[in-house]
Structure 1
Amino acid sequence: MALFKTITLLCLLVVSVLAIKGEIRKFPDTLSFGVATAAYQIEGAWNASDKGESIWDRFTHTTNSIKDKSNGDFACDSYNQHKRDVEMVKELGVDFYRFSISWSRILPNGFSNKISQDGIAYYDSLIDDLLEANIKPYITLYHWDLPQSLQDLGGWTNPMMVDYFTDFAEVAFEAFGDRVKTWITFNEPWVVCIEGYGGISKAPALGMNGIAEYICAHNILKSHAKAYHLYDDLYRSTQKGRIGWSLNANWDHPATKSPADIEAAERAIQMNLGWFAHPVFSKEGDYPQVMKDRVARNSLAQGYRRSRLPEFTPEEIAYIKGTCDFFGLNHYTSTMIRSLTTTISMEPNFRDDVDTDCFYDPSWPEATSSWLKVVPWGFRNLLNWITKTYNNPEIMVFENGFSDKNNKDDVDRISYYNQYLNALLDAIEDGCNVTAYTAWSLMDNFEWLQGYTERFGLYYVDFNDPRRPRTPKASALYFKSILETRTIERNCNAQLNRNGTG
Structure 2
Amino acid sequence: MGSTGPAGEVTRAEFPAGFVFGVATSAYQIEGARREGGKGDSIWDVFAENKGRILDGSNGEVAVDHYHRYKEDIELMASLGFGAYRFSISWARIFPDGLGKNVNEQGVAFYNDLINFMIEKGIEPYATLYHWDLPNNIQQTMGGWLSVKIVEYFALYAEACFANFGDRVKHWITINEPLQTAVNGYGIGNFAPGGCEGETGRCYLAAHNQILAHAAAVDVYRRKFKAVQGGEVGLVIDCEWAEPFSVKTEDQIAAERRLDFQLGWYLDPIYFGDYPESMRQRLGDDLPTFSDKDKAFIRNKIDFVGINHYTSRFIAHHQDPEDIYFYRVQQVERIEKWNTGERIGERAASEWLFIVPWGLRKLLNYVAKRYGNPVIYVTENGMDEEDDQSATLDQVLNDATRVGYFKGYLASVAQAIKLVDFCCLPHNEVCSAKKSNDTTNCLIQGWC
TM-score higher than 0.5: yes
CA separation in 2, counterparts of 1:107 and 1:239?
23
Contact 1:336 1:359 in 2 (8 A): yes
Alignment pair present for 1:156 and 2:134: no
Secondary structure, counterpart of 1:273 in structure 2: helix
Q: In 2, Cα distance between the equivalents of 1:425 and 1:273?
A: 22
Report whether the alignment pairs 1:86 with 2:74.
yes
For the 8 Å contact 1:210–1:350, the answer to whether it is kept is no
**Number of equivalent positions:** 402
> What is the correspondence of 1:65-464 to structure 2 with a 5 Å cutoff?
65-152=53-140, 153-207=142-196, 208-281=198-271, 284-296=272-284, 307-342=285-320, 349-361=325-337, 363=343, 364-406=345-387, 407-431=396-420
Once residues 276 and 115 of structure 1 are traced to their aligned partners in structure 2, the CA distance between those partners, rounded to angstroms, is 30
Summarize deviations over 1:441-488 as a string: whole Å, max 9, x none.
xxxxxxxxxxxxxxxxxxxxxxxxxxxxxxxxxxxxxxxxxxxxxxxx
Indicate if the aligned counterparts of 1:392 and 1:432 stay in contact, CA closer than 8 A: no
What displacement does 1:409 show? Answer: 2.4
1:351 CA drift (Å): 2.4
Question: Deviation per CA, 1:241-298, whole angstroms, max 9, x where unpaired?
Answer: 11011100000111111111111111111122110011112xx3210111112211xx
1:29 counterpart SS class: coil
Normalising by structure 1, we get a TM-score of 0.77
Contact 2:29 2:63 in 1 (8 A): yes
Specify the SS of the correspondent of 2:250: helix
Amino acid at match of 2:93: R
Q: Alpha carbon RMSD of aligned pairs, Å?
A: 2.0
User: Do the aligned partners of 2:9 and 2:407 also contact (CA within 8 Å) in 1?
Assistant: no
Q: Deviation at 1:336?
A: 1.4
Deviation of the 1:48 alpha carbon = 0.9
- Which of 25, 39, 42 is the equivalent residue of 2:30? 42
CA contact (8 A) 2:243 2:312 kept: yes
- Residue identity in the other structure for 2:412: A
5+ residue gaps, structure 2: 388-395, 423-448
Cα gap change, 1:21/1:404 in structure 2, threshold over 3 Å: closer, same or farther?
closer
| Structure 1 unmatched runs, 5+ | 1-17, 297-306, 434-502
Deviations 1:205-231 (Å, cap 9, x if unpaired)? 143413111100110000000110000
Match of 1:70, SS state, is: coil
Conserved in 1, the CA contact under 8 Å of 2:10 and 2:411?
no
Partner Cα distance (2:165, 2:44) in 1: 25
CA gap 1:91/1:326 in 2 versus in 1, 3 angstroms:
same
Specify the SS of the correspondent of 1:264.
Answer: helix
Q: Is the 8 A contact 1:161 1:219 kept in 2?
A: yes
User: Tell me, what secondary structure is at the counterpart of 1:425?
Assistant: helix
In structure 1, give the amino acid aligned to 2:257.
Answer: R
TM-score (norm 2): 0.86
- How far apart are residue 28 of structure 1 and its match? 1.8
Runs (4+) off by over 4 Å: 18-25
Aligned CA distance change for structure 1 residues 330 and 22 (closer, same or farther; 3 Å): closer
* Cα distance change of structure 1 residues 230 and 366 upon mapping to structure 2, 3 Å threshold: same
SS at 1:141 equivalent: strand
2: CA distance, partners of 1:432 / 1:36: 28
The letter for the 2-side match of 1:354 is Q
Cα drift, residue 23 of structure 1: 6.1
Name which structure has the greater RCO, CA cutoff 8 Å, separation 6+. 1
Shift of 1:426: 1.0
Residue 111 of structure 1: how far off its partner (Å): 1.5
Q: Is the 8 A contact 2:10 2:410 kept in 1?
A: no
- CA change 1:344–1:330 in 2 (3 A) is closer
Give the aligned residue type for 1:397. Answer: V
Q: Secondary structure at the match of 1:138?
A: strand
Residues 21, 39 of structure 1: CA spacing in aligned structure 2 closer, same or farther, 3 A cutoff? Answer: closer
C-alpha separation in 2, matches of 1:138 and 1:344: 40
Report how far residue 21 of structure 1 moved: 7.6
Question: Which amino acid is 1:378 matched to?
Answer: G
1:200 shift after superposition: 1.9
